[in-house]
Amino acid sequence: MDHTVHTAHAAPTVHTRRNQRSLSRAERRRFVGAVLGLKRSGAYDDFVRRHIDHYVSDGDDRLRAAHMTPTFLPWHRRFLLDFERALRRVDGGVTVPYWDWTKDRTPAASLWGEDLMGGTGRRGDRRVTTGPFARGNGWIVKEGVTDGDFLTRDLGRPADPLDLPTRQDVAWATAEKVYDVSPWDSTSPRGFRNRLEGWTSDIGSGRWRNHNRVHRWVGGHMLGGASVNDPVFWLHHAFVDLLWTRWQRQHPDAAPFLPERPPALGEPQYRRIVARHEPMPPWRTTPQDMLSHRGIYRYAE
Amino acid sequence: MLFSRTVPRMSRRRLIAVAGTAVLGAAGAFRGLSGRYFPPDEGQPGAPGGPAFDETYRGRRIQGEPTTGGAAHGPHGWRVTVDGKPLGVMRRADGSYLSMVDHYGSYGTPLAAARGAVDELGEGQALGGLLH
């Protein structure tokens, strides 16, 4: 079975996404350089805006393609592909690395070094002051929620510490045999998608699981609508994307995406979610198109 | 087995969360006296959003009122401001609220979402107008 991705320009070769911890110093520099190139051209802020525009919550009676929805995974796969293609136009040797947050779990990890993501924010205004994405080094936030034009982080939330998700937390999601279940939103009681996305109705720090918990752990911009301003967004989502691939490998007989057909008129999710063969705004790409990245990229694991 | 170990772990985490909430509930009554900060986002999902509010929280003026009719981008059923600047608030299917500042917490009421946004804004940061 061969699934192809809708692309205007098919990539001539399969490129490899690697764990960020395995990048050489030169590779780290090239990745950062390509991100800075996109920032300078204005393209980076288009990605920030696009992510904000597609954040629709499931209490709204509107179509939601990106979050709290079965297409959380294929939507972000396409979003990352667009970003990676843009990066590779700047530097054809670059791919999006992934951050395995079950292993690199502290602000002391090399991920947060001055030559990659830079460190946490300072006390008070949470401004990032080290690394290439510090305001003082030229990274200016233009599409923010606040009037500050600097990137913010609050790694690990020291005022009320919480841990990154663990391997067991990931297993709690990947053990699910079904991709997603009704009501296909943040209250879906089972299913791989919602358990990986990480919505619960719990209280206390147990409410955040997996993907959501990582956004909470990084804090600052990553917590809000303008999370894409923090380039760690891409490394986080590359790992989420890899976990989707692993889930497929673990459950080869499961339906790879649900729902198969759109909810009918009169059903609560009518016109609010995207079914397997429907386009995901803003693209014409369908979840079906995104079921496999074979022939496009692979993960070095 | 990885998975069988996961279940009791999650249950334990939930128990700790519930116990923590009970403590916060008791301590929260003294917030005004002690001036200490407790996470305000422990609400009751399913509440209709509560009454309009206008208060000072950690030195910020937070105001909110229900609106009629929802805009595609903006306050869905509620108009909430922090120091007069609009805070985008969205509703989740379980009845809780999210804000543009904190997309991943779930707050029982718009008031709790506004307080949570203040907690996350950091000192000296004002809202900048992006809603949703």
pLDDT at residue B132 in the model: 58
Return the CA Rg of chain B. Answer: 16
Same domain membership, residue B74 and residue B115: yes
Whether residue B106 and residue A143 make contact (CB cut-off 8 A), yes or no, is no
Give me the helices (H) in B29-54, please.
Answer: 31-34
pLDDT at residue B30 in the model: 31
ipTM of the complex: 0.89
Angstrom CA distances, A58 to A67, A187, A274, B95, B98, stand at: 8, 9, 13, 10, 11
Q: Is A205 on the interface with B (CB under 8 A)?
A: yes
Domain boundaries, chain A: 41-296
Backbone angles phi, psi at A216, to 5 degrees: -65, -40
Whether residue B126 and residue A183 make contact (CB cut-off 8 A), yes or no, is no
Chain B closest CA to A148's CA: distance in Å? 6
Half-sphere exposure of residue B78, counting CA atoms within 13 Å on the CB side? 29
Which burial class, exposed, middle or buried, applies to A217 when counting CB atoms under 10 A from its CB (0-12, 13-18, 19+)? Answer: buried
Same domain membership, residue B68 and residue B19: no
The rounded distance, in Å, linking the Cα atoms of A180 and B92 is 18
Q: Is A230 on the interface with B (CB under 8 A)?
A: no
Same domain membership, residue B62 and residue B26: no
- Nearest neighbour of A148 by CB, restricted to B16, B100, B125: B125
Q: Among residues of chain B, what percentage have pLDDT more than 90?
A: 40
CATH of domain A41-296: 1.10.1280.10
Q: Are A270 and A264 in contact (CB under 8 A)?
A: yes
Q: Decide if pLDDT at B73 tops 50.
A: no
For residue B80, the enclosing domain spans: 53-121
Which whole number is the average pLDDT over A261-271?
A: 96
The rounded distance, in Å, linking the Cα atoms of A163 and B92 is 25
Whether residue B125 and residue A203 make contact (CB cut-off 8 A), yes or no, is no
Q: Is A52 on the interface with B (CB under 8 A)?
A: yes
Which whole number is the average pLDDT over A44-66?
A: 95
Which whole number is the average pLDDT over A1-26?
A: 75
Beta-strand (E) ranges in chain A? 15-17, 297-299
Chain B closest CA to A62's CA: distance in Å? 8
Whether residue A171 and residue B126 make contact (CB cut-off 8 A), yes or no, is no
How does residue A84 score in pLDDT terms, banded at 50, 70 and 90? very high
- Residues of B with Cβ-Cβ distance to A152 under 8 angstroms: 122, 125
Query: The tokens of A77 are what?
Result: 């796969």
**Tens digits of residue pLDDT in A159-179:** 999 999 999 999 999 999 999
Q: Are A117 and A101 in contact (CB under 8 A)?
A: no
Phi-psi region of B59 (alpha: psi -120 to 50; beta: other; left: phi over 0): left
The answer as to whether B132 is a domain residue is no
Chain B closest CA to A92's CA: distance in Å? 34
**Tens digits of residue pLDDT in B76-123:** 588 999 999 999 999 999 999 999 999 998 899 999 999 999 999 978
Chain B closest CA to A25's CA: distance in Å? 33
Query: The tokens of B58 are what?
Result: 């950690």
Whether residue A57 and residue B16 make contact (CB cut-off 8 A), yes or no, is no
The rounded distance, in Å, linking the Cα atoms of B87 and A267 is 31
Whether residue B128 and residue A146 make contact (CB cut-off 8 A), yes or no, is yes
* In the block, residue with structure tokens 């692993």: A246
The answer as to whether B130 is a domain residue is no
For residue B131, give the chain A residue with the closest CA: A145
Residue B55 CB partners (closer than 8 Å, separation 6+): B61, B62, B63, B111
Q: Is A33 on the interface with B (CB under 8 A)?
A: no
Residue to substitute from A57, A166, A218, interface B, most B β-carbons within 10 A:
A57
Backbone angles phi, psi at A266, to 5 degrees: 100, -20
Query: The tokens of A198 are what?
Result: 């990480």
The rounded distance, in Å, linking the Cα atoms of A198 and A178 is 16
Residue to substitute from B9, B42, B103, B109, interface A, most A β-carbons within 10 A:
B103
pLDDT at residue A94 in the model: 98
Restricting to A residues 90-129, those with a Cβ less than 8 Å away from any Cβ of B are 121, 124-126
The answer as to whether B73 is a domain residue is yes
CA triplet B71, B77, B83: central angle to 5 degrees? 95
Same domain membership, residue B116 and residue B60: yes
Decide which of B7 and B51 is more confident. B51
- Nearest neighbour of A201 by CB, restricted to B45, B88, B130: B45
CATH code at B63? 3.30.1880.10
Q: Enter the DSSP assignment of A5.
A: -
Q: Decide if pLDDT at B31 tops 70.
A: no
Q: Is A60 on the interface with B (CB under 8 A)?
A: yes
For residue B118, give the chain A residue with the closest CA: A146
Which whole number is the average pLDDT over B21-46?
A: 35
Backbone angles phi, psi at A29, to 5 degrees: -65, -40
Three-state secondary-structure class, residue B121:
helix
- As for how many domains chain B has, the answer is 2
The answer as to whether B80 is a domain residue is yes
The rounded distance, in Å, linking the Cα atoms of A128 and A151 is 6
The answer as to whether B106 is a domain residue is yes
